[in-house]
Structure 1
Amino acid sequence: MEAQQLEAFRPLDAEQIELNSGQSGVSYPEESKEHIYHRAMISSIRSEMNKLSQLLSIPYVVFLTDRAGTILELVCSSPVTREEMDQAELRPGVSLSRQRSGMNAVSLAMEMNRIGVVRGAEHSDQTFQNWNCVCAPLQDDDTVYGYVDISFNRGEPIEFAIPFVQQIAENVMEKWMEKNPEMQQYRLEATLQDYKLTAREQDVARLWLLEKSALHIGSDLGISEGTVRNMLKSIYSKMRVNDRFQFVKRLTP
């Protein structure tokens, strides 16, 4: 990177941070949506690293952050590594953004919108200067939901970590997040609302998706079978489908 670009990674002092607060370009208009994604991301990174931990024989730390660079979760390879993180006061809620922490793999990935690699002494924070760090965005289509960083001793070769962290990021977004029950429920609810179904139509649609019969749905909701069938006609019209197969396909990833 050029000197002018590197200068941008100089951590701001407290007064500058206060002046810049609220101007980061990151806003969360749907707080509940962010919380759902964060919980799903935390669950996903735990599942992924539980699966991959046996493949890593070196000490490591995995940082999961939100899209603003704030740590959501740490996965440490051992109690010793966890203690090291505690001593460095690296925990959920700590920001690894450029403004707060200067140059690190997370802030570089945020700035460049791609994988960031920062070695040892290249870090602004002395805490990281014994580590090599590689970070990849957690991205779905064109939207970044967070970042995953793997950090390890600077004496270890860094080349393996670049494709490794990229695979972790892909698995989190394409495998674990897709399986997460809370994410599946959120996406279903969002889709039903996108089709402008009424509250009662949404109740019918959820049960119809579970392959319940019109008679069963009527019994569950306290309405007649005929009313259920009339609602299904309205649902099909709004969703522009002709049968149950097309209906299910619209509502399942």
Structure 2
Amino acid sequence: MVFDLDEIPGYTIPQDWVQMSFLEGIDYYSKKRDARYDSAMGHLIAPLASNQLNARLAALYPMMKKAKKEINGLIDRFPFPWFFILTDQEGIIMDIYGPATVKERLNQIEMKPGASLSMHHAGVNAVSVSILTSKKSCVQYKEHEMDLFHQFVCLCCPIRLNGQIVGYLDLSHSYSFDIEITVPLMEMLVQSVERILSAGLASLAALDRAKLTPREKDVAHLWVQGRTANEIGWELGITEGTVRNMVKKIYVKTYVKDKAEFVRRFYKR
């Protein structure tokens, strides 16, 4: 059964959320399909090569880390099937958060990092509508074009940093009468992620004022985010030993003794 949000006693979805009934011209955009698109197919399309995906994952690591931290405390609190999806600006899935059993089922239909939820690749869904409108969106059950979404109510919010959209967070769950809980939950989650990202950006700006070489800045930005020397070396194409030597120079130039002091000074949670 599909519930009408307006029929939920005492609750009306906020006006700044886009609902399908409010959209005009959506068919025009939804028909501009990838040649592989099929609304009845049981999996998503992954348009990126592995090296392209790895580059995006590395670039969005700070946002992914903050979102995961905020969501982890919620994983065991929902009595119904649910999951969160974090995408980049183009709707490419960067990470999925939720119970292990749900994630296993999603993996079987190729709903995993690298798959696309854009209008071009997946038709009408909460992420693609948010991308189209740059607004928060709610898409329910058979309002989704792809059959694999028909069992879900999906809520999506843009994540903004300095006024620019840097990604999208989607919550998909199975019962629409819980939307009076999940709508404000999504708003609070995204506000929290945006606040933490903004604080981290201010801290990195302070780090940029230190007299570091361009390569040392690259290492410092990743080091302060909690990356290991091995991870940084792999991402920047240098050896782990080179990373550790640079970290020592960074400590000297920023007048800190160790990583704990470095993080306290340049990374505000």
2:141 counterpart residue number: 120
Task: Mark the structure with the bigger radius of gyration.
Answer: 1
TM-score between the two structures when normalised by the length of structure 1: 0.64
Q: Does 1:75 align with 2:85?
A: no
- Please, which of 188, 192, 197 is the counterpart of residue 209 of structure 2? 192
CA 130–184 in structure 1, closer or farther in 2 if over 3 Å, else same: same
CA deviations over 1:98-129 (Å, ceiling 9, x no partner)? 11111100011111111111000000111101
Segments of 4+ moved more than 6 angstroms = 202-206
Task: Report the identity percentage.
Answer: 21
Q: Does 1:40 align with 2:62?
A: yes
Q: Does 1:138 align with 2:155?
A: no
1:108 counterpart residue number: 129
Q: Does 1:12 align with 2:33?
A: yes
Q: Does 1:163 align with 2:184?
A: yes
1:53 counterpart residue number: 75
CA deviations over 1:57-92 (Å, ceiling 9, x no partner)? 32211000011100000112242x122202221010
> What's the Cα RMSD here?
3.6
TM-score between the two structures when normalised by the length of structure 2: 0.60
- Aligned pair count reads 195
CA 15–108 in structure 1, closer or farther in 2 if over 3 Å, else same: same
Q: Which runs of 5+ in 2 are unaligned?
A: 1-21, 38-52, 218-247, 258-264
Q: Do the aligned residues in 1 keep the contact of 2:203 with 2:267 (CA within 8 Å)?
A: no
SS at match of 1:49: helix
CA deviations over 1:165-224 (Å, ceiling 9, x no partner)? 121112222126745xxx6885445x338xxx6749x99997565468xxxxxxxxxxxx
In the alignment, the residues of structure 2 paired with residue 35 and residue 92 of structure 1 have an alpha-carbon distance, to the nearest angstrom, of: 9
| Matched residue type, 1:139 | R
Higher relative contact order (CA 8 A, sep 6+): 2
1:141 Cα offset (Å): 2.4
More helix by share: 1
Q: How does 1:213-228 map to 2 (within 5 A)?
A: none
